[in-house]
Chain A
Amino acid sequence: MDIVVEKLTKRYGSQKAVDNISFRVKTGEVLGFLGPNGAGKTTTMKAITTFLAPDEGKITVGNYSVDEDADEVKKHIGYLPEDNPLYEEMPIIDYLKFVAQIEGIEKGKVEEKVREIIETCGIEAEKYKKIIELSKGYKQRVGLAQALIHNPEVLILDEPTTGLDPNQIIEIRELIKKIGKEKTVILSSHILAEVEATCDRIMIINNGKIVADGTASELRKKAQGKEILKVTIEDGNINTIYTSLQNLEETELVDILDKSGNIFEVQSKVEKSSRRAIFKLCVDNQWMLTQMSFIEAKLEDVFRELTMN
């Protein structure tokens, strides 16, 4: 089921939490919402799950409109809200039975489904415990279990890995990736590594607007623009080498990274590459070129650049 968001706007008072955003998520795609706190990620997700009505714009999930066929939309969505609210006084197993029933799972299959999901989420040993007695990580698993129990076609996960330890984070990521192959998944996070590890596509939101949309490598390229090289040139005087590099037609900026190791950072002019020129320079002067590599722009840099005002 595709999710289509068209010109969504949501205001809280006079403040626009989400400002005229449009996007589409296809079946089998895992979309990561990235953005600083208060950027509008949660509001967008709440609007998709029918919990909040948009002020303007239209959202459809599959063929169903969130506004007109809310009941149908709800049936096909598995939702893990921010802060993972649960009926804490209930034992896990009773809680999951309740969710299974309310999701309309047939009476005869409820027990089986609950057993399956308890196994998938690794809460077998705790299943008779009350939710309030669980650690944050286990609560998070219960939250995921309730979102997945009816095998929904669309999954909306608001910060699914908060509170988990590194092993659990990896497990949950694997789980999301596995599920994501046949479902439509939107997850939000402000941990970049997480989004990069689990999502096919990243959307950065800031102040209610989409500021970037693409795969992780596309986003990097976008920020990169200029080629940055790390170069080590031996057998020559460091100052001479520095000046010669600076004098190349293609280079814009040269920086000495390591004096004793003769390592330089060379930034080329826009749309130019200085790799050939550097090589030629070394050959002409009989220097030894022992390293030449790209410095990749980090996703963190992209994020900062796009979201710092």
Chain B
Amino acid sequence: MKQIWIITKRELQAYFDSLMAYILLILFLGFSGFFTWIYGSDIFFIKQASLQAFFSIAYWTLFFFIPSLTMRLLSEENKTGTIELLLTKPVTNWQVIMGKFLSALALIVIALLLTLPYYFTVASLGNIDNGQVFSGYLALILFSSMYISIGLYTSSVTNNQIVSYLLTLSIGIFFQIIFGMLSRGVSGLIGHILNYLSVYTHFESMTRGVIDSRDIIYFLSFIFLGLVLSETMLIKKRYT
């Protein structure tokens, strides 16, 4: 646990030192703020004190920002060779993976915390459903974790950051939209499966305020799968 925390701390420091963190925070707040409050203006017209508009915008902004956070996590270490130093220190592969995963997640959580003024603003305008807000933020965190985990994996298979970024987007786009679109055209079991695979199904139901164990299990399984695959790539290094 201590080792994981030491790695997380270093990675977070690296995000802030390289200005990556500031750029991401500003862009994320700028984009989601602009589309939530100014451009889309849904938030004022639905005649409900709700953060739904923000959640559906964050659904897309995070989709594009997360790969830019995860792309360097392992690919840079592969490229510069620092991975050799790290893995010959008294840490396990799993600790390295978890440390890196948590650093990106921590940054996303910071970004989400900075959107809390949205909540207070809306809450002052009318009766807000706190349960729905909570479940919406939980959805954002689980959704982000899933893409961080996929991004970490694509970062482990290459030593080129751009390749990792694009790979994450190409894998992500299936979950983000393609599975959902396909499921509408297919009936029966396959349609069900496609619908279940689509992130939107689970994300949407959670932002409406429903916390269902099936949704939680969905996110946790993909998070775990990404982490395990990334660890496998580290293990494989020993056997090249």
- A interface residue numbers (CB < 8 A to B): 12, 46, 49-53, 71, 74-75, 77, 79, 81, 83, 85-90, 94, 98-99, 101-104, 146
Contacts and interface: CB of A to CB of B under 8 A. Distances in A.
A86 B81 CA distance: 8
B17 interface: yes
B90 A87 contact: no
B18 A71 contact: no
A77 B240 contact: no
Interface in B138-170: none
Given A90-B17, A101-B6, A74 B89 contact: yes
Contacts of B14: 87, 89-90
B146 to A, nearest CB: 28
Given A94-B13, A98-B6, A85 B85 contact: yes
A51 B91 contact: no
B68 to A, nearest CB: 17
A101 B6 CA distance: 7
Contacts of A75: 90
20 contacts: A12-B240, A50-B88, A51-B84, A52-B238, A52-B240, A74-B90, A75-B90, A79-B85, A81-B88, A83-B81, A85-B80, A85-B81, A85-B84, A85-B85, A86-B82, A87-B14, A99-B89, A102-B7, A102-B91, A103-B89
A98 B7 CA distance: 8
B192 interface: no
B184 interface: no
A146 B90 contact: no
A236 to B, nearest CB: 65
Interface in B82-119: 82, 84-85, 87-92
Contacts of A74: 88-91
Chain B interface helix/strand/loop/mixed: helix
B85 A104 contact: no
Nearest to A156: B88
Interface of B: 3, 6-7, 10, 13-14, 17-18, 80-82, 84-85, 87-92, 237-240
B91 to A, nearest CB: 6
Contacts of B87: 50-51
A102 B3 contact: yes
A51 B90 contact: no
Contacts of A103: 89-90
Contact of A88 (B3, B80, B85, B89): B80
Contacts of A51: 84, 87-88, 237-238
A89 B237 CA distance: 24
A181 B17 CA distance: 41
Contact of A102 (B18, B82, B89): B89
Contacts of A104: 90
A295 B44 CA distance: 97
Instruction: Kindly list the 3 A-B residue pairs having the minimum CB-CB distance in the complex, ordered from nearest.
Output: A85-B81, A53-B238, A85-B82
Contact of B88 (A12, A49, A101): A49
Contacts of B18: 89
Contacts of B3: 102
Contact of B6 (A83, A87, A102): A102
Contacts of A81: 81, 84-85, 88
A140 B87 CA distance: 19
Nearest to B237: A51
Nearest to B81: A85
B25 to A, nearest CB: 19
B72 to A, nearest CB: 11
Nearest to A81: B84
A77 B88 contact: yes
B93 to A, nearest CB: 10
Contacts of B17: 89-90
A87 B7 CA distance: 13
Nearest to B87: A51
A49 B10 CA distance: 23
Contacts of B81: 81, 83, 85
Given A51-B88, A87-B14, 14 more contacts: A46-B84, A49-B88, A50-B88, A51-B238, A52-B240, A75-B90, A81-B81, A83-B81, A85-B80, A85-B85, A86-B85, A89-B14, A90-B13, A99-B89
A71 B85 contact: no
A102 B3 CA distance: 6
A250 B93 CA distance: 66
A300 B13 CA distance: 49
A104 to B, nearest CB: 6
A146 B6 contact: no
Nearest to B13: A94
Contacts of B89: 74, 99, 102-103
A102 B90 contact: yes
A98 B99 CA distance: 13
Contacts of B240: 12, 52
Contact of A146 (B13, B84, B85, B239): B85
